[in-house]
Amino acid sequence: MMYNSSCWAAPKSVLEKLDVVHRRHLRSILNYSYPNIISNKNLYSRCNAEPLSVRVDRNRWRMLGHVLRGPSNGPAHTSLVYAINTLGLPVESDDRNLTYFSLIQCDLR
């Protein structure tokens, strides 16, 4: 489910849906159905898990660190420098214009 999540440019609405599905699976593993309820916080602590959106954010930052530590003439570093110097995209709340670079800019704020 998390394959290649370091390159996802998913909007918050998609990440929230991913968390909902994850919690639903955890509840089914623990055999919790409607009459028996458990809070999300207790669910994550009981399963020793965390929301998948947190893991996606962490993986995104790991990938950025990997690119920044790589060779300065490598294709990943070169494209990142190009994006920073020439694109200068303003961060918009519209999910249709969401890119990996604009997501990183949003995370930096």
> 50-71, pLDDT tens digit by residue?
999 999 989 988 988 888 888 9
**What is the model's pLDDT at position 10?**
83
Q: Read off the pTM.
A: 0.73
Mean pLDDT of the region 37-49: 94
Q: Is 108 or 29 the better-scoring residue by pLDDT?
A: 29
Largest CA distance in the chain: 59
**What is the model's pLDDT at position 50?**
96
Minimal CA–CA distance to 84: which of 71, 59, 67, 60? 67
**What is the model's pLDDT at position 47?**
94
**What is the model's pLDDT at position 23?**
95
